Amino acid sequence: MAQQTVQPTVRKQSNPKVEYYKTIWKRLRKNKAAVVGGILILFFIVTSIIGPLFTSYDPNEVDILNKVQGPSAEHWFGTDNFGRDIFTRIIHGMSLTLFVGFFSVVIGGVIGVFFGVISGYYGGVLDTIIMRVMDILLAFPGIILALAIVSVLGGSLTNVIIAVGIFSIPAFARIVRGSTLTVRKLEYIDAVRALGASDARIIFKHILPNVMSPIIVQATLRIATAVLTASGLSFLGLGAKPPTPEWGAMLSDGRSYMAEAPHMVLVPGIMIVLVVLAFNIFGDGLRDALDPKMKK
């Protein structure tokens, strides 16, 4: 009889990074609220990009004959005090709202992460100086600090982004500093330093990749705060200027017509609530998914 040759089974080695991301995705998928938040965020982003292509009205077109009209088949969300279609203005304002939220957090995140890593890695006097400056910024409520900055710089959408970015810096700096202090004490960091690696290489190659989880979570949650703050500044007349279809400014325009046209306040108000809620619940779910203590 011919002898059969038994081939040894070779087990494929899985990529640790791929497995890590798969684990995060599984945890995130189990959180129904986070999934709903993620779907809403994706919907808002897609709508802000392609939505204006499907609107039949100009967001700034004045139609006095049809002003303060309620929702109808012609105007789904009604019209405002100038006869402008509110649905069209909501769609066009969505890109502005997300733009302000994303870019203000990018500004605050980049600067805050830089100061947080430098403070946590080098410590000493530098750490004391940076953290005391952050404590001073944290002593002011966010909206008050942003209000003061915009009052100095002047009211505009660009200055709102700068103001919201500045008051976001301390939150990122403190979180990254704490994570850097933890990672800096690990043995492999001492080993890399003993091999002659420069401080820049240690920071960018070994510390930053290990503190990205709290940065991502903080950025997601911070976008919600940024949107709310930017809308509040525009409501006070310090943000987007008329006739820009910004939701906070639309809310401000509608407050004088709350009795006869409540839709002018309800529609932009509900949209602000939905965006803030979506980023908050998605950020909470992302924090749980990225938390090492959740590993089984």
Predicted local distance difference test score (pLDDT) of residue 7: 55
Read off the CATH number of the domain in which 53 is found.
1.10.3720.10
Q: What is the largest distance, in Å, between two alpha-carbon atoms of the chain? A: 98
Handedness of CA 244, 246, 251, 257 (dihedral sign): positive
- pLDDT per residue as tens digits for the range 187-223: 888 888 888 888 888 888 888 888 888 899 899 999 9
Burial of residue 79, with CB atoms counted within 10 A of its CB: 0-12 exposed, 13-18 middle, 19 or more buried: buried
**Dihedrals φ, ψ of 85, to 5°?**
-70, 120
Say how far apart CA 137 and CA 276 lie, in whole Å: 23
Please report whether residue 5 resides in a domain. no
Side-chain half-sphere CA neighbours of 59 within 13 A: 21
**Which of 189, 2, 156, 139 lies closest to 164 in space, CA to CA?**
156
Mean pLDDT score of the chain, rounded to an integer?
87
Instruction: Please indicate, yes or no, if residue 175 is contained in any of the structural domains.
Output: yes
pLDDT in tens, 226-248: 999 999 998 988 888 888 899 99
> Residue 80: beta bridge partners?
none
Across the range 87-94, mean pLDDT stands at 93
Count how many domains the chain has.
1
Identify the pLDDT of residue 295. 47
pLDDT at 136 over 60: yes
Helices (H) and strands (E) in the chain, counts: 11, 0
Residue 46 lies in a domain: yes
Distance between CA 204 and CA 195 in Å, rounded?
16
Q: Mean pLDDT over residues 26-52, rounded?
A: 91
Identify the domain containing residue 169 by its residue range: 23-66+77-294
Within-domain flag for 246: yes
- Is residue 4 included in any domain, yes or no? no
Q: What is the DSSP letter of 203?
A: I
pTM: 0.86
Q: Collect all residues with Cβ–Cβ distance below 8 Å to 234 and sequence separation of at least 6.
A: 160, 240, 246, 247, 248, 249, 252
Residue 167 tokens read as: 């008051």
What is the rounded CA–CA span in Å between residue 39 and residue 23?
Answer: 20
Residue 17 in any domain: the answer is no
Section 24-29 average pLDDT: 82
